[in-house]
Amino acid sequence: MENKCRAKITGIGMYLPEKVITNKHLEASVDTSDEWIRSRTGIEERRVVEEGVTCSDLGARAALMAMEHAMVTSQDIDLIIVATLTPDMVWPSTACLIQEKIGANNAAAYDLSAGCTGFIYALATATQFVETGFYKNVLVIGAEVMSKIVNWEDRNTCILFGDGAGAVVLQPSQDSTGILANYLGSDGRGAHLLKQPAGGSSLPPTYQTIDDKLHTIYMNGNEVFKFAVRVMGEASLKVLEIAGVDKEEVDLLIPHQANMRIVESAIKRLNLSPEKVVVNLNKYGNMSSASIPVALYEAYMNQKICEGQKILLVGFGAGLTWGATLIQW
């Protein structure tokens, strides 16, 4: 066992389906409009997989890109953690399916379920393995095919979600850079507010659960919105407190891409200029566990992230869950 060191993101990648569903497309199938969706969410379009494409397909593509960026081979990977709400199947884990697809046969692999906060939870978990010296190369993936569990007749939810995957490789830091702090929270009293009711042991599949569309997303939008507006700011301030960093020192905020009004509330709470906030929900909608890593990848590729910056990741999701990560890049 080595001395504790920081965990550092050394590689990032993403993969998005090519198929685009615009707000105009949705106007043809549900009672909504492009203007209504934009004004209330900020979303203009989202990506959706073709028939037969799975969560593990997206996750594997993002993983290979992150591994190439980190200059590690499939044989180097010690652990694969996949955050997802939409696994290929209940079991075996999507992480094991991705392991086979990328040839990482030396790795341990498992899935993690924390709603849209999944990537933050997975990143915090992976950090412990690297900091303690237990593993040297950990692959963290957020992958979702939300289109498979959306009720396309429900205008309150079908407008929000998209498909995609993002991944990072975590390794021991050789200097003072890396993950400074993680903060996680949950409140099971809000479990009923956002869920996929059927398909588990509570409501196993029957003709009735299928007819009642209980295998699709249910959300109490007003209550989730109120929760998100409060917790995004609170989680951000908490992780800064843990790290001993002032909010004025934050160089870039990468929030979960759920709703522009929620993002704006976090900006206000942290007193950040909009230029310091990464927003791509207009292009991709809410990709759940994939939202933050995809936004991180795009920020890096667009040179919004520079060496020495402090990057704040923050998210919320079903559970209810929330979490934040502070990174010294």
pLDDT number for residue 267: 93
**Residue 66 structure tokens:** 């992150």
Phi, psi values for residue 110, rounded to 5°: -160, 160
In percent, the amount of the chain with pLDDT more than 70 equals 99
pLDDT number for residue 4: 66
Q: Please name which of 24, 98, 26 lies closest in space to residue 64, comparing C-alpha atoms.
A: 98
Known catalytic residues are 116, 256, 286
pLDDT at 3 over 70: no
User: For 322-326, what is the mean pLDDT?
Assistant: 98
Average pLDDT for the chain: 96
pLDDT number for residue 201: 97
**Domains contained in the chain, CATH given:** 7-175 (3.40.47.10), 180-328 (3.40.47.10)
Write the pLDDT tens digit of every residue in 181-197.
999 999 999 999 999 99
pLDDT at 2 over 60: no
Neighbouring-strand partners of residue 198: none
Write the pLDDT tens digit of every residue in 92-143.
999 999 999 999 999 999 999 999 999 999 999 999 999 999 999 999 999 9
pLDDT at 1 over 60: no
pLDDT at 180 over 80: yes
Write the pLDDT tens digit of every residue in 193-223.
999 999 999 999 999 999 999 999 999 999 9
Contact 321, 194 (CB under 8 A): no
pTM of the model: 0.97
Q: Please name which of 290, 310, 300 lies closest in space to residue 69, comparing C-alpha atoms.
A: 300
Virtual CA dihedral for 301, 307, 308, 314, nearest 10 degrees?
A: 20
Q: Which residue has the tokens 């593993």?
A: 135
Write the pLDDT tens digit of every residue in 235-255.
999 999 999 999 999 999 999
**Residue 14 structure tokens:** 């993403």
Write the pLDDT tens digit of every residue in 138-164.
999 999 999 999 999 999 999 999 999
Contact 157, 179 (CB under 8 A): no
